[in-house]
Amino acid sequence: MSENVARRGFLIGGLGGAALLAAGCTSNEPSAAPTSEAAPAATQAAAGGNDEPGTKVTIGFSAPAADHGWIAAIAKNAEATAQQYSDIEFKPVEPTNDINQQISAVESLIAAKVDALVILPNDGEQLNQIALRASEAGIPVVNLDRIFPDKLAYRTWIGGDNYGMGVAAGHYIGTALKEKNVSNPVIVEIQGIATLPLTQDRSKGFADALKTYGFSVTAQQDAQFTVETGNEVATSLLQAHSKIDAMWNHDDDQGIGVLAAISEAGRDEFIMVGGAGSANAMRAIKDDNTVLKATVTYSPTMASSAIKIARLIAQGKGMSDLVENQVPQSITLASETITKENVEQYLPLGFES
């Protein structure tokens, strides 16, 4: 393991937005054109100096099992991006939704003395100690999406803007209802996993944005990021409220079940906003034949960027579009609102639920 592997970065990044995805990482892009679900076109640009083969590095990768489309796209993006570099040996471990099994899998990567680790934990708090152990062993950890509470547990965090998702959804709904002169609206919210900090951030952003219009959430229930539970929760909310003005569903994967419940109930009096930016949701928005009128992005392309970042850190490089010599400590991607007006631009980036 080179001495660069043990380097610690203390540059605090507040670099947010898709602009960083499209600019901060662009000069590190190889010329090979990836597929829409694996490091899609938004991350492509002319190759720069960091693309030249460097020191051979082994990057370990651990993520939950692909039980829905977003997680499946995460794994595909990571693997496809690693394969584009001749100087990366990609070492994924078996994906699992069992906390103890993921801890054991990461332990095996630490024992293998990989040069960098990319970890999307099932639960950041519960895997914090194993990430700390990796960092203490001199292995830089790129924390993907679900964050470890201890900053010493990771070298760089990269993920979506969960609070920003809620803000984007809240502004879309608030603006639409104000334009219709709706007062005292019934607004329902279908969360993912309520106990996760990311879900709580999404809900806070939503509530804060709605407040600027004088609105608030009428009812809130979590659906565990699954199609089945999405269907059950939506059915329950529809039965509990004879009239709804707007609905925000945090996750487009579970949104398949939500839309099915809405269709079965024959309800169309409200507007719905989705979350994450699945291809399924975007096609529905484009066709404009359901209550789903918008979705706010939380792109799995972050996994592609995580692999690129791990490679740069392990090789002792910075991001060549930035002045600083090291990769930032934190990278937050912006949440953008996809509507019928701009959906064509985003369709190539969608993942299949």
Residue 328: pLDDT over 70: yes
| Rounded Cα distance, 114 and 62, in Å | 12
Number of residues that make up the chain:
353
305 phi and psi, to 5 degrees?
-65, -35
DSSP letter (8 states) at residue 334:
P
Residue 48 pLDDT: 54
| Span 95-108, average pLDDT | 98
| Span 81-99, average pLDDT | 97
Half-sphere exposure for 233 (CA within 13 Å, toward CB): 28
Q: What six digits make up the tokens of 322?
A: 């930035």
Residue 82 pLDDT: 98
Residue 67 pLDDT: 82
Tens of pLDDT along 19-77? 333 333 333 334 333 333 444 433 333 345 788 999 999 999 999 999 889 999 999 99
- Range scoring the smallest mean pLDDT among 46-50, 253-257, 297-301: 46-50
Residue 102: pLDDT over 50: yes
Half-sphere exposure for 145 (CA within 13 Å, toward CB): 22
DSSP letter (8 states) at residue 351:
B
Residue 9: pLDDT over 90: no
| Rounded Cα distance, 247 and 260, in Å | 14
Residue 308: pLDDT over 90: yes
Residue 185: pLDDT over 80: yes
Q: How far is CA 74 from CA 37, 63, 69, 250, 254, in A?
A: 9, 8, 9, 18, 17
Contacts of 236 (CB under 8 A, 6+ apart): 221
Residue 68 pLDDT: 84
Per-residue burial over 124-141, b = 16 or more CB atoms within 10 Å of its CB, e = otherwise: beebbebbbbbbeeebbb
| Rounded Cα distance, 95 and 321, in Å | 33
Residue 49 pLDDT: 78
Residue 128: pLDDT over 60: yes
CA 196 distance to own-chain centroid: 14
Q: What six digits make up the tokens of 299?
A: 């792109």
Answer yes or no: are the C-beta atoms of 188 and 218 closer than 8 Å: yes
| Span 89-118, average pLDDT | 98
What percent of the chain is predicted at pLDDT more than 90? 82
Q: What six digits make up the tokens of 330?
A: 């934190």
| Rounded Cα distance, 194 and 210, in Å | 19
C-alpha gyration radius of the chain = 20
Q: From the DSSP assignment, how many helices (H) and strands (E) are in the chain? A: 11, 13
